[in-house]
Amino acid sequence: MSINIEIIKYDNRDSRSNDIIVYKHEKEDFGCHAQLLVSPSQVALFVNEGEIIPFLPGHYTLDESNNSAFSGINKLKNWFSKGESSFHCSVYFINLVTLNDLKFGTQTPIQMEDPVEGVNIHVRAAGLFGAHLDNDSADCKEVIKFFTKVNGNRGLFTKEDLETYLRGKMIERVADNLGKLMIDRKIGILSVSSHYAELSDLMKAQMAPYFQDYGIKIDNFSFMTINVPDDDIAAINEMKIKARQMDMESEAMARKRAREGYSYQQEKGFDVLKTAAANEAQPGQFMGAGMGLGMGLGMGGAMGGAMGNVANNTFASMNEAPKNNEEKDKCPNCGAEIIKGAKFCPNCGHKLGLTCPNCGESVSLNSKFCPNCGQPLNVSKKCASCGAELKPGAKFCPDCGAKVE
Catalogue all structural domains in the chain, each as residue range(s) with its CATH number.
7-95 (no CATH), 100-133+158-228 (3.30.479.30), 353-405 (no CATH)
* Confidence at residue 210, expressed as pLDDT on a 0 to 100 scale: 93
Encode pLDDT of 99-118 as tens digits. 888 999 998 999 999 999 88
Judged on CB neighbours under 10 Å (0-12, 13-18, 19+), 166 is buried
Comparison of pLDDT for 38 and 403, the residue scoring more: 38
Is it the case that residue 234 has pLDDT exceeding 50? yes
Q: What's the CA gap between 86 and 97, in Å, rounded?
A: 32
Comparison of pLDDT for 270 and 370, the residue scoring more: 370
Of the candidate ranges 59-73, 185-199, 223-237, the one whose mean pLDDT is the lowest? 59-73
Beta bridge partners of 269: none
* Confidence at residue 98, expressed as pLDDT on a 0 to 100 scale: 87
CB 369 within 8 A of CB 342: no
* Confidence at residue 7, expressed as pLDDT on a 0 to 100 scale: 87
Beta bridge partners of 61: 35
* Confidence at residue 396, expressed as pLDDT on a 0 to 100 scale: 80
Encode pLDDT of 2-19 as tens digits. 456 678 898 866 555 568
**Between the CA of residue 301 and those of 239, 298, 304, what are the distances in Å?**
27, 6, 5
Phi and psi (nearest 5°) for 392? -60, 130
Q: What's the CA gap between 328 and 335, in Å, rounded?
A: 12
* Confidence at residue 316, expressed as pLDDT on a 0 to 100 scale: 53
pLDDT band at 208 (very low <50, low <70, confident <90, very high): very high
Mean pLDDT, residues 252-274? 68
